[in-house]
């Protein structure tokens, strides 16, 4: 018979409950503050449901009624520099943090609503109604509430989507030398999401001061936790990552507070993350003012049993039993909270002159429609005053360098001058510079700032996004191959790309994402894509694509100076190439939105980027055509050099767009459409395009070659243009 030995988890897992002694020992001021917060949040949520019932809330109204104990108990002990983020059901968390911030963490039940608290209630309600005075200027609504000053990093509509961002904030707190912590709130469904589990692993490995706070309300929409997982005690997720965890009754705010304070001790002492699971119950359906029983997935008896455990009543009963308050004073607390909400509503609504007995939002409070696209990205004013240089105009001393050495060299220079820059990605710290040498020498020189990550694109991409939003660091995230962005698509597109605009258009997101196009390397269908087309049609990102070493210096420096997320695309074909760069100068910038004219002609405008610029020049030589060859350099919608493109098209009256990658994800498809809209009157023939095939490149050398464009494909494209010229 085999021998068996019981294995125990590395970290403790406990269930915490309060006793009568805990309530007797609790600071009366703490209980009074919790009581006040609970009633303010309950009155707020009741008002939201009332307005939703009147059709005045556009979109969902995810009520937290019944769940307030988890938020209040965990947040009441946090400071303003501690941070939280949450999920789509996050009104209670946001309000608890905002009220804590403006009140200094103490409320007086006899004078509950100060002017600052009234402002918090009104601005939060205005945000949920989509109004300009809201914290995100009406763009966030119910699911995207952010107020950085109060330490509220932003609630999130993607299940589990905010958790990696919280890890980035926690990383910044730790490495800035603070004892602050971050608490990320999410529901039972998110515990089965890859990004959450990836982040648990990363936070544990790096000992980040991050609390994973699970609000287990027993249901997704209508699916029970027992149906969704084989281990319904969701804090058990922590055991696989060596994270200490607590399980607690979320209808008991004091128990939540005590568990959270124990978790804080772990985090603030530098011992890494914690998991707190609270069992709570939303009294209403997933969305709107009806109970779950109205939809048949819960019984009225179950709902009544949970309502009898209302956290507001629990705190009131305990305080009354301790002689700290009486029933009349409890009623007065509730009336103050309700009165505050009536006042907030009165500021935002008015009688509807077209419908007797109904209300409407005051028309003057809506955002101006001209605000719709403001803040998709910044205005780039941060680049003002930087030294710019066009390498082709440089007349000083030159030196010959390999492209990949230039990549490492410019990062070395910037990291030496800017201690905020942190590089992270898979294997970037080893192999003498990662898998291609792009981070050569950096790990030894900048200890603690070149972070080799686990294989967890969602987690480390989102962590970089959280670092960028925090503002104390400037992350440079490397995706080993661009195809891996699909693994991290939520963090790349839903989170990082949309963050500035979604939360009001003002918060910078200074992040650089490096990746390489590896077509021709034989790595097959899941490693060889060109990401330009996907990023160009996704909001918020700027894109640079250098075709030579000298341009790389200037483009990377500009990317690192921008306050927007920037995708820097490299090409493996260029890594081994040598080129002339200004000798000893790694500090110049290439202006935002400036293309380079690599060759001048009169017959056709050839537009390309990356390694296909070289192939385009070769093809022009082979055909003998007279062509303008434009190296785009900047590819995103906001940074395209339409002046250079337009001047050329007005001269040549024909266009050939050249790219190497697959037709389906083509960058040129978008560019062609835009060119024909802008310059239709100057075109004598349709825009011609050279791309790869429909299929992703295969492993077979022959099939891979057939799937991607090279010089001969550009020659064929130019021949088509030549035929069109003959018919003019």
Catalytic residues: 457, 527
- CB neighbourhood size of 229 (10 A): 16
Sign of CA dihedral 154, 157, 159, 164: negative
Tell me phi and psi for residue 361, to 5 degrees.
Answer: -70, 140
Is 558 in a helix, a strand, or coil? helix
Query: Residue written as tokens 């003019």?
Result: 728
Is 583 in a helix, a strand, or coil? coil
Dist CA 401 CA 585 (whole Å): 12
Q: Which one-letter DSSP state was computed for residue 188?
A: G
Is 10 in a helix, a strand, or coil? coil
Q: What Rg, from alpha-carbon coordinates, does the chain have? A: 29
**Considering only CA atoms, which of 68, 16, 78 is closest in space to residue 39?**
68
Dist CA 548 CA 565 (whole Å): 22
Dist CA 383 CA 385 (whole Å): 6
Sign of CA dihedral 311, 340, 85, 144: positive
Sign of CA dihedral 210, 445, 550, 656: negative
Helices and strands: H and E segment counts in the chain: 25, 22
**Six-digit token pair at 522?**
């034989």
Crossing angle, helix 115-128 and helix 28-53, to 10 degrees? Answer: 30
Burial 319-341 (b: 16+ CB within 10 A, else e): beeeebbeeebbebbbebbbebb
Is 478 in a helix, a strand, or coil? strand
**471, 508 Cβ separation under 8 angstroms:** yes
């Amino acid at each position: 018979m085999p021998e068996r030995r019981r294995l125990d988890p590395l970290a403790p897992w406990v269930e915490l409950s309060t006793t009568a002694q805990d309530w007797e020992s609790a600071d009366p001021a703490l209980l009074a503050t919790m009581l006040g917060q609970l009633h303010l949040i309950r009155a707020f949520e009741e008002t939201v449901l009332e307005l939703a019932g009147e059709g005045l809330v556009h979109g969902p109204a995810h009520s937290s009624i019944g769940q307030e104990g988890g938020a209040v108990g965990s947040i009441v002990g946090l400071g303003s520099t501690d941070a939280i983020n949450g999920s789509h059901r996050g009104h209670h968390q946001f309000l608890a943090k905002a009220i804590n911030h403006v009140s200094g963490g103490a409320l007086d039940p006899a004078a509950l609503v100060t002017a600052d608290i009234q402002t918090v209630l009104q601005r939060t309600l205005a945000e949920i109604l989509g109004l300009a005075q809201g914290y995100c200027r009406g763009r966030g609504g119910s699911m995207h509430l952010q107020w950085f000053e109060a330490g509220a990093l932003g609630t999130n509509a993607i299940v589990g989507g905010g958790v990696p961002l919280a890890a980035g904030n926690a990383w910044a707190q730790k490495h800035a030398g603070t004892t602050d912590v971050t608490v990320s709130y999410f529901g039972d469904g998110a515990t089965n999401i890859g990004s959450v589990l990836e982040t648990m692993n990363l936070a544990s490995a790096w000992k980040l001061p991050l609390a994973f706070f699970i609000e287990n309300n027993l249901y997704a929409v209508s699916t029970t936790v027992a149906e969704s997982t084989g281990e319904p005690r969701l804090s058990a997720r922590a055991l696989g990552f060596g994270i200490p965890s607590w399980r607690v009754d979320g209808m008991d705010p004091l128990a939540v507070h005590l568990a959270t304070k124990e978790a804080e001790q772990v985090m603030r002492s530098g011992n890494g993350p914690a998991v707190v699971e609270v069992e709570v119950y939303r009294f209403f359906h997933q969305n709107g003012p009806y109970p779950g029983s109205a939809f048949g997935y819960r019984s009225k008896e179950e709902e009544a049993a949970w309502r009898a455990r209302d956290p507001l009543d629990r705190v009131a009963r305990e305080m009354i039993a301790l002689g700290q308050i009486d029933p009349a004073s409890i009623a007065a607390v509730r009336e103050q909270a309700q009165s505050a909400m009536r006042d907030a509503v009165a500021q935002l609504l008015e009688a509807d002159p077209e419908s007797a007995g109904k209300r409407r939002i005051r028309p003057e409070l809506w955002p101006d429609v001209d605000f719709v696209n403001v803040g998709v990205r910044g205005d780039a004013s941060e680049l003002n005053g930087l030294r710019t240089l066009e390498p082709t105009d440089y007349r000083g001393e030159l030196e010959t360098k390999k492209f990949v050495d230039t990549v490492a060299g410019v990062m070395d220079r910037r990291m030496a001058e800017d201690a905020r820059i942190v590089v992270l990605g898979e294997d970037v710290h080893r192999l003498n510079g990662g898998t291609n040498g792009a981070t050569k020498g950096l790990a030894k020189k900048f200890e603690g700032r070149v972070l080799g990550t686990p294989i967890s694109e969602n987690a480390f991409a989102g962590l970089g996004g959280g670092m960028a939003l925090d503002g104390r660091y400037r992350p440079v995230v490397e995706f080993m191959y661009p195809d891996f962005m699909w693994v991290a698509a939520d963090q790349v597109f839903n989170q990082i790309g949309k963050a500035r605009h979604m939360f009001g258009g003002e918060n910078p997101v200074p992040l650089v994402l490096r990746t390489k196009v590896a077509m021709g390397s034989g790595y097959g269908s899941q490693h060889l894509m060109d990401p330009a087309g996907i990023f160009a049609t996704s909001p918020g990102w700027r894109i640079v694509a250098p075709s030579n070493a000298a341009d790389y210096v200037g483009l990377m420096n500009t990317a690192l100076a921008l306050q927007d997320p920037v995708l820097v695309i490299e090409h493996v074909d260029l890594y081994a190439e040598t080129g002339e760069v200004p000798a000893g100068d790694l500090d110049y910038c290439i202006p935002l939105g400036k293309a380079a004219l690599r060759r001048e002609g009169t017959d056709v405008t050839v537009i390309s980027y990356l390694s296909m610029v070289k192939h385009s020049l070769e093809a022009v030589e082979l055909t003998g055509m007279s062509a303008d060859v434009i190296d785009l350099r900047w590819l995103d919608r906001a940074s395209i050099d339409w002046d250079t493109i337009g001047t050329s098209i007005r001269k040549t009256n024909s266009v050939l767009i050249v790219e190497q990658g697959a037709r389906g994800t083509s960058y040129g498809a978008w560019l062609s459409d835009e060119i024909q809209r802008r310059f239709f009157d100057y075109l004598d023939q349709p825009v011609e395009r050279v791309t790869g095939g429909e299929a992703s490149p295969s492993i077979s050398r022959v099939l891979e070659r057939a799937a991607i464009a090279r010089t001969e494909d550009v020659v064929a494209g130019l021949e088509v243009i030549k035929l069109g010229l003959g018919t003019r």
